[in-house]
Chain A
Amino acid sequence: MTKIIEAQNITKVFGQGNNQTIALNNVSIEIEAKEFVSVMGPSGSGKSTLLFTLGGMDTIDRGTVLINGVSLYEMEENKVADFRRKKMGFVFQNPTMLPGLDILDNILLPSYEEYKKDKARLSQNALELMKLAGIEGTEHRKITEVSGGQLQRASICRAVLHNPDILFGDEPTGALNSKSSEEILDLFEALNKKGMTILLVTHDAKVSARAKRVVFMKDGALESELRFKNEDHQTRLGLIIDKMSALGI
C-alpha cells in the first residue's frame, strides 16, 4: 500500500517561557492510502493539533510531514495553500460556510477554477454529492436558511467535491444530534469505500467505531492504536471502550 501521510517526530509547543504547553511531543504517524483512521483522546491531548499540523494549517516546531511524498513544511506558503486546495478536504466541528454565498456557491468555492473549465461536470458532481448527503434542493438557500446538520453535510460536499486524496475531519459530528451524526458517518464510510483516505479526530467512541484504525493520544503523544478488519460497529465500539478504560482516557 502507498503511504499517503508520513509524519516524523513532530513537536508543537504553544506559549513561551514558563507558560509553555507541549501540544505534540515527538509524534510520528504513517497513514496508508484509502485508510479510514480515527484519532481519539481526551480534551487537551493534542489530537486536533495533530490534525491541523498534518493538514498544513498550523506550524510545527520540529519534525517533518510528508503528504504523498511531498514535504509540507518545506513548501512555500502559496504552494501549501494550492496543495491543500487540490489534494486535501477539511470538515470542522462547526460548519464553516461564508454568509455571502448560497449553499451551492459555498460548495463550489474551492473547486471554482476547475468549475470554470468544466461547468457541467462540476455542477453535476456537486448535485450528486448533495443527493448522496441528503441535502438535494437546498442549493439556492442562504446558509441561515438550513439546519446545522444540513450545513455540516454541505461542508462535507465542499470538502470532497474536488475529489481530494485525503479528507480531514475535526469532530465533524460534534455539533450534531445523533440522527444527523449517523447520516454523516454513513457518508464518510461511503466516501471511504469509494477510495478516499479519511482522518478523523473525535472523542466519541461511536464515531471511531466507523474507522478501520483508531489511534489513541494522551498528553501530546501517541499512546496506542487498534486496527480492525471485518468486525461490526458494535464489536469495534466494545474494543474501543475497553482500550480507553485501559489507557485511563
Chain B
Amino acid sequence: MFTKIIRNDLKNSKLVSLTLFVFVLFASFLLSTVAIVAVNLNASINLSLENSKAPHFLQMHLGSFDEERMLRFAQNNEHVLDYQTMPFLNVDSNDILVNGEPFSDKSQDNGFSYQSESFDFLLDLDNQILYPEEGEIYIPIIYLTNGVIQPGDRVSVSGQDFIVKGAIRDAQMSSMLASSKRFLIHPSDYQKIKSIGREEYLIEFLLKDMPTVNLFQGEYANANLESNGPTITYSIIRLINALTDGIMIAILFLIAFLIIIVSFLLIRLTLVAKIEDEYRTIGVLKAIGIRLSIINKIYRAKYALIAFLGSLFGLVLSYLLSGFFLQNIRIFFGENDSGTLALVSAFLASALIFVLVMLYINLFLRRLKKLSPAAAINTGVVSEGASSLKHFKLRRQKLLPAHLFLGTNLILTRKKTYLTFVLILIIASFVMILPNNVYSTMASDEFISYMGIGNGQAMMMFHGKDSMNNLDLRMKNDPEIETYAIYDHKSYEFLLDENAIGKIWVTLGNHHLFPVLYTAGHAPEGDNEIALSYLNAQSLEKKIGDELTLIIDKQKKDFLITGIYSDITNGGKTARATFQDHVTDSLSTTLVMDFTKETSISEKIKSLEQAFPNAKVYDIKLYRDAIYGSTLNNIKLSGITATILAVGLSLLITLLFVNMLVVKDRRDISILKSLGFTNRKLNGQYMIGSVLLVLLSMILGSALASTLGQPIAGSFIQAMGIANFKFYIDKSFVFLLAPLAMIATVYIGTRLGTRSIQTIKVSDYIRE
C-alpha cells in the first residue's frame, strides 16, 4: 500500500519532490565532502609533518650567532631530543632571474637553503627527502601551482645558473600564509651565492615530548639566546598548513548547514500545504480509528524515500568528486592512507543528513496529534484559515484596490505559511550580502589600518642595520613627499613575572600620523605609554590601564598600556611606543608616506627604489593586494557564487511557493474569477505578497548580515590577528543592487508561479 501511496504522491508533486531531493542531495554531498576533506587534510598534514620531521620549536634569527652557546643550551636542556641550525639566505626578488627575466612574484620573501641533516627536511612530491645536484634547484610548490616557474626553467642568482628540477614540500613555509619561501639548492651552490643575500638562521629543536613546547619556549626565552626574529612552534606550523583548506572546509560546512535549513523549511512548506489540503481526510482516518502512527507513516513515507535517495546519491557524488576538493591537499601534503576512515566518515555524514531530515519530519508530524477529527470533518478548514487583523477590512481602507487588499490579507491570514517563505528569503539575502560585506571591507582603503600598517600611499622598508643616514633629512627636503613617518622596529625584553623574561617587538615612532585601528584605547603619546597588538594583549593577558615593564639598555622601565590595536604583521604580536632609544639596534625600519597631489605614485616609487637600493618600496594598495590578493579574489568569487546561489534559490522557492498557493487557492481563485476579477488582477494578488515579503526579507537579511554576520566573519578573521572587525558596507550593493536582484527574482518567480491562474476555469472548481 505504501509503495502505491508514495508513487501517487511523487507523481502529483514532481517539482517539489525533485527540489527536495536536490537539496538533500547537496546537503549530503557537502557534508560528506567536508568529512572526506577534513579526514584527508588531517592525515596528509600529519604524514607530511612526520616525513619532513618538522621542528617542534623554531627561532628565526637575524644577526650574529653564538653557535657554541646554543649547542651547550641544547645539550643541557632536558626536553631537547635534537637540535640544528640551518642557514636561510634572504635574496631580494629583483636579484632572482627566471629565464633571464626578473622574478615576477614579489609578494613573498624568497630565500635559499640546502637540505637539513637530521630533521626539518624539504621533500619532493612523493614525500621523499631531496638532495639536489650542483646546478639544480627545487622551487617552492606554490610557484609550480601558480605557474610562475616551471620544471626545466633557468633560475639565475648572482650570475649562478640553476636548472629547475621540480618542486618541494616545505612543512614550514609552503603555505601562502607564511611570508617566506624556500628554494632548495646544493650546499656548495649555497656558498657561491651567499654574498648576494642576507643570511638568517633557523634555530630548530625537536623535543622529546611535544606538549612540553610551552615550557621549553619559556626556558629558551630565559636563557637569553638569539631571538631576533619570529618564534614558531609545531602547532603554529600545523595551523598555518591547515588554514587554507580549513577555510574551504568551513565554507562548505556553512553552505551545507544553510542547505539543510532550507531543506527543512521546504519540507515544512510542503507538509503544511499537504496536511491543510488533506485536513478532512486525516480527520476521517482518525475518526474511523486508524492509529496516528499509521497516518504518520503515510506522510513520512515519501520524505523517507526522498531523504534516503538524496543522502545516498549525495554520498556517491562526494566519493566521485572528492578528488577535486582533495587536489590542493594532495599537491601540498601528498597522499595518505586514511581511505577507510574517510569513507566511514563520509557515510556517517550522509547518514546524519538522513537522520536529521527524518527527525524533523517526525517532530513536525507531532502536530497531527492535536487534530480533532470532529473539527476536521465539520469544517475542513485549518484553524489558521480565517484569522486576519480585526480592523483590517476591505471597506475601511481606500489605499489598495480590492485585489491588492486581498493579496495583503492573504499574508495576514496565513502568517505561518508565509513565515517559512520569509525565512528562506532572509537566508538567501543573508547568503548574498555576507560575503560581499566581507569583500567590501577587505577591499576598502581603510582595511590596511586593520593590518597594523598606517593608511599611507607608500611604504619603504629597510632591514637590519642598513644605512639610513640622513633619512629624515632627505624625506623632509623631498618636495614630492607631503607627510611621512619613520617607524623603527626594535626587540626588547620584558618581564613576564618577577623571574621570567619574554621578548617583544616594539615599533617606535609617531603613531598619530598614520594611525592603525585601535580596537580599544588610543595610540601611545607620552614616553611611558605603550600600545599592544590584539594577539599580544591576549597572550599576555593585559588590558588598558595595566602596566608592562620593558628592559631598555639593561634598565627596567614601566609603561602604561593605552591602547590595543589590530595587527597582522610579524605574526600579529607587536607593540607600539613613542620613546627615544639610540642604544638598541633597529631590526628594521619602515617609512610610511603620502605624496603631494601632483605626484604619480608609481613613478615616485620607482625613483625611491633607485635612491634607496637597500630598501623595499611598496605602493600600500599593491602591498595589500599582494598579501590579500588571492584571498580577496576568493572572497569575491564566493560572493558572486553566493549571489548566484541566493538568486537561484529564491527563484526556485518563490516559484514552488506561489505555485503551491495557487493550487491551494484554486477554489478561491475561481470564486474571484466568477466575480469578474481578471487574470492580471489575480496575479497581482500574489505579486503584492511576494514583493512586500521580499522587501521585508531583504531588510532583515541585510540587517542580519551586517550584525550577526560581523562576528561570524570576524571570528575567522580574528585568528589572523584582526580584532574588532567592523564591516565597511558597499551601500550600492546592499541597498540597491542586491534588493533589485532579489525583487526581480521574486517577481519572475511569482510570474512563473501564477501562470497556472490562467488555466483555472470557474466551472471546474465551483460546480459541485
A interface residues, Cβ below 8 angstroms from B: 48-49, 52, 55, 57-59, 77-78, 81-86, 88, 90, 92-94, 96-102, 104-105, 108-110, 112-113, 115-116, 119, 123, 142-144, 158, 170
Contact = CB atoms under 8 A, between A and B. Distances in A.
Interface string B676-699: 111110000000000000000000
B768 interface: yes
Contacts of A119: 395
B134 to A, nearest CB: 88
Contacts of B385: 99, 144
Contacts of B676: 81-86, 88, 110
B406 interface: yes
A51 B766 CA distance: 12
B413 interface: yes
Given A86-B676, A100-B386, 12 more contacts: A57-B761, A58-B761, A84-B674, A84-B675, A92-B674, A92-B766, A102-B393, A104-B395, A109-B675, A110-B675, A144-B381, A158-B675
B409 A101 contact: yes
A207 B398 CA distance: 40
A144 B379 contact: yes
Given A142-B386, A144-B381, A144-B386, A96 B406 contact: no
A113 B413 contact: no
Given A98-B671, A144-B381, A93 B409 contact: no
Nearest to A48: B767
B402 A113 contact: yes
Interface in B130-167: none
Nearest to B409: A100
A108 B766 contact: no
Contact of B394 (A57, A58, A108, A144): A108
19 contacts: A48-B767, A57-B674, A57-B762, A58-B761, A84-B675, A85-B677, A92-B768, A93-B767, A93-B768, A96-B670, A96-B766, A100-B409, A101-B388, A101-B409, A105-B395, A110-B676, A113-B401, A143-B386, A170-B766
B585 interface: no
B668 interface: yes
B762 A98 contact: no
A77 B762 contact: no
A81 B667 CA distance: 17
A71 B503 CA distance: 97
Contacts of A57: 673-674, 761-763
A94 B768 contact: yes
Interface string B259-291: 000000000000000000000000000000000
B409 to A, nearest CB: 5
B410 A100 contact: yes
B674 A90 contact: yes
Nearest to B402: A112
A98 B763 CA distance: 17
B386 A99 contact: yes
Contacts of A102: 393
Contacts of B379: 144
A99 B763 contact: no
Contacts of A100: 386, 388, 406, 409-410, 412-413
Q: Which of A57, A86, A170 has the most CB of B within 10 A?
A: A57
A190 to B, nearest CB: 22
Nearest to A168: B674
A-B interface, 8 closest residue pairs, ranked by CB to CB distance from nearest:
A85-B676, A57-B762, A112-B402, A110-B675, A105-B394, A96-B671, A81-B678, A100-B413
B395 A123 contact: yes
Nearest to B394: A105
Given A77-B678, A81-B678, A101 B763 contact: no
A59 B676 CA distance: 16
A216 to B, nearest CB: 20
Contact of A81 (B381, B670, B671, B673): B673
A110 B401 CA distance: 11
Interface in B179-201: none
A113 B676 CA distance: 12
Interface in B371-411: 379, 381, 385-386, 388, 393-395, 398, 401-402, 406, 409-410
Q: Which of B385, B386, B413 has the most CB of A within 10 A?
A: B386
Given A82-B678, A110-B676, A115 B763 contact: no
B677 A81 contact: yes
A108 B762 contact: no
A158 B676 CA distance: 12
Contacts of B402: 109, 112-113
A58 B673 CA distance: 11
A156 to B, nearest CB: 13
Contacts of B671: 96-98
Nearest to B414: A100
Interface in B402-435: 402, 406, 409-410, 412-413
A113 B681 CA distance: 13
Nearest to B761: A58
Given A98-B671, A99-B385, A52 B401 contact: no
A121 B667 CA distance: 31
B764 to A, nearest CB: 9
Q: Which of B672, B674, B678, B763 has the most CB of A within 10 A?
A: B674
Interface string B464-504: 00000000000000000000000000000000000000000
A47 B111 CA distance: 95
A98 B406 contact: yes
A59 to B, nearest CB: 8
Contacts of A110: 675-676
Nearest to B667: A96
Contacts of B394: 101, 105, 108-109, 112
Contacts of A96: 667, 670-671, 674, 766
A91 to B, nearest CB: 10
Contacts of A158: 675
Interface in B742-768: 761-763, 766-768
Contacts of B672: 98
A151 to B, nearest CB: 13
Contacts of A48: 763, 767
B401 A78 contact: no
Contacts of B667: 96
A102 B675 CA distance: 17
Nearest to B396: A105
A161 B435 CA distance: 57
Nearest to B411: A100
Q: Which of A105, A113, A123 has the most CB of B within 10 A?
A: A105
A158 B672 CA distance: 12
Nearest to B388: A100
A155 B668 CA distance: 14
Nearest to A143: B386
A99 B381 contact: yes
A155 to B, nearest CB: 10
Contacts of A88: 676
B679 A77 contact: yes
A105 B673 CA distance: 17
Nearest to A81: B678
B404 to A, nearest CB: 11
Nearest to A164: B676
A21 to B, nearest CB: 14
A92 to B, nearest CB: 5
A115 B406 CA distance: 16
A78 B763 contact: no
A52 B675 contact: no
A116 B395 CA distance: 8
Contacts of B398: 116
Given A48-B767, A58-B761, A100-B388, A115 B674 contact: no
Interface string B356-384: 00000000000000000000000101000
Contacts of B678: 77-78, 81-82
Q: Which of B395, B406, B412, B676 has the most CB of A within 10 A?
A: B676
A157 to B, nearest CB: 13
A101 B703 CA distance: 34
